Amino acid sequence: MNEKVKKIIEFMDKNSLDAVLIAKAPNVYYLSGTSPIAGGYILVKDDSATLYVPELEYEMAKEESRLPVEKFKKMEELYKILDGVKALGVEGTVSYAFIEDLKEKANIKEFKKIDDVIKDMRIIKSKEEVELIEKACEIADKAVMAAIEEITEGKKEREVAAKVEYLMKMNGAEKPAFDTIIASGYRSALPHGVASDKRIEKGDLVVIDLGALYRHYNSDITRTIVVGSPNEKQREIYEIVLEAQKKAVESAKPGMTAKELDSIARNIIAEYGYGEYFNHSLGHGVGLEIHEWPRVSQHDETVLREGMVITIEPGIYIPKLGGVRIEDTVLLTKNGAKRLTKTERELI
């Protein structure tokens, strides 16, 4: 039996569930090895798992899936398959409307979230998953270097983003992992400053934040540069962020909590007097989703473990002046953190 399915069945037994229904695309892919574009459902029931897909997805799913595949034409067929199920495990992302339909049309009485068991599996990456993330990071590294070359006075942020996204696809990416951030000048103080029509000016800080999606797995990297020579303030905040990022990467190891790791970088920035300008978490897990477990923040007591892939991305953002962020995707090994994104960090 598929080991991942086995863990779900164990969860069902412990929680007196008759079945588990999985609909979230990354989870469907994680368990089956295929990702139906038009959607699909994995039903775990009677000590087995089956992938149900619309008819137009059937041939591809049958070819790719590690699970048996069945097709359905309309939701009523799925409701019939659930006949007799009284207690159903579902993901927390399932809509209220779908739950109401399951109550009414499949006569299901009880629901329980299964997020914890899936989280526990997905939070540790297998060797094969790490290899795919490494490839996604390699593509992202190339894209960052291309962005640095493209950034010149007078060019629009959106033009730079278009070039690097094209390059990522030419190097094997399915698509960008998220909307590419090229944020220059005052916009570099916006942590999510997605590329705009603003023209890059001499003296601008420019935050470059991008990632590649490669065979379902993501990467994430941020570098910050100055167009021309940095002024004293720009250099100061850059050096503080670089120190915080390097220290956090050097300190990351299994056994510490996500909160403790966040505090290492946060305390360095606060000691220099810029604590109020670091206004997001230190990082997040990366894998089938660009943001997944753990959340490397002051609110996450998750104990870091070997095999986790996370980002480490401290920043300082000063309104009207600009911002600096430096980010790497790293793998936690028994010996500490291994940087999977390798572009030079000392860019100023």
Q: Is 50 strand, coil or helix?
A: strand
The answer on 311 and 211 residing in a single domain is yes
The CATH number given to whatever domain includes residue 251 is: 3.90.230.10
The answer on 199 and 115 residing in a single domain is no
The answer on 268 and 332 residing in a single domain is yes
What is the pLDDT at residue 348?
Answer: 78
pLDDT exceeds cutoff 90 at 126: yes
Please give the average per-residue pLDDT across 166-178, as a whole number.
98
CB of 332 within 8 A of CB of 304? yes
The pLDDT-based confidence of 35 (bands split at 50, 70, 90) is very high
Residue 348 falls within a domain, yes or no? no
pLDDT exceeds cutoff 90 at 68: yes
Domain span at residue 63 reads 3-122
Of 122, 140, 165, which closes a domain? 122
Q: What angle do CA 177, 179, 182 make, to 5 degrees?
A: 120
The pLDDT-based confidence of 131 (bands split at 50, 70, 90) is very high
Of 88, 122, 156, which closes a domain? 122
pLDDT exceeds cutoff 80 at 169: yes
pLDDT exceeds cutoff 80 at 116: yes
Whole-angstrom Cα distance, residue 143 to residue 91?
35
pLDDT exceeds cutoff 70 at 1: no
Peptide bond into 294 cis (omega under 30): yes
On average, the pLDDT of the chain sits at 96
Q: Is 306 strand, coil or helix?
A: coil
Q: Identify the residue whose tokens are 């477990």.
A: 293
The answer on 68 and 142 residing in a single domain is no
The answer on 118 and 132 residing in a single domain is no
CB of 90 within 8 A of CB of 17? no
The answer on 71 and 204 residing in a single domain is no
The CATH number given to whatever domain includes residue 116 is: 3.40.350.10
The answer on 131 and 63 residing in a single domain is no
**Which of 70-79, 131-140, 255-264 is predicted with the least confidence, judged by mean pLDDT?**
70-79
pLDDT in tens, 300-317: 999 999 999 999 999 999
pLDDT exceeds cutoff 70 at 264: yes
Please give the average per-residue pLDDT across 190-203, as a whole number.
97
The answer on 100 and 75 residing in a single domain is yes
Q: What is the DSSP letter of 140?
A: H
In 3D, which of 237, 332, 325 has the Cα closest to residue 281?
325
The answer on 187 and 163 residing in a single domain is yes
pLDDT exceeds cutoff 70 at 95: yes
Task: Find all residues with CB under 8 Å of 199, minimum gap 6, and list them.
Answer: 154, 155, 156, 157
pLDDT exceeds cutoff 90 at 74: no
pLDDT in tens, 229-252: 999 999 999 999 999 999 999 999
CB of 198 within 8 A of CB of 156? yes
Q: How far is CA 217 from CA 4, 121, 264, 276, in A?
A: 18, 16, 28, 33
First-to-last alpha carbon distance for the chain, in angstroms, is 53
The answer on 277 and 335 residing in a single domain is yes
CB of 246 within 8 A of CB of 295? no
pTM of the entire structure? 0.95
CB of 196 within 8 A of CB of 188? no
How many C-alpha atoms does 21 have within 13 Å on its Cβ side? 26
What is the pLDDT at residue 248?
Answer: 98
pLDDT exceeds cutoff 90 at 318: yes
The answer on 131 and 275 residing in a single domain is yes
In 3D, which of 137, 282, 280 has the Cα closest to residue 221?
137
Whole-angstrom Cα distance, residue 309 to residue 35?
22
Total domains in the chain come to 2
Please give the average per-residue pLDDT across 60-79, as a whole number.
92
How many C-alpha atoms does 211 have within 13 Å on its Cβ side? 25
Q: How far is CA 204 from CA 150, 160, 201, 246, 272, in A?
A: 14, 15, 6, 24, 23
pLDDT exceeds cutoff 90 at 41: yes
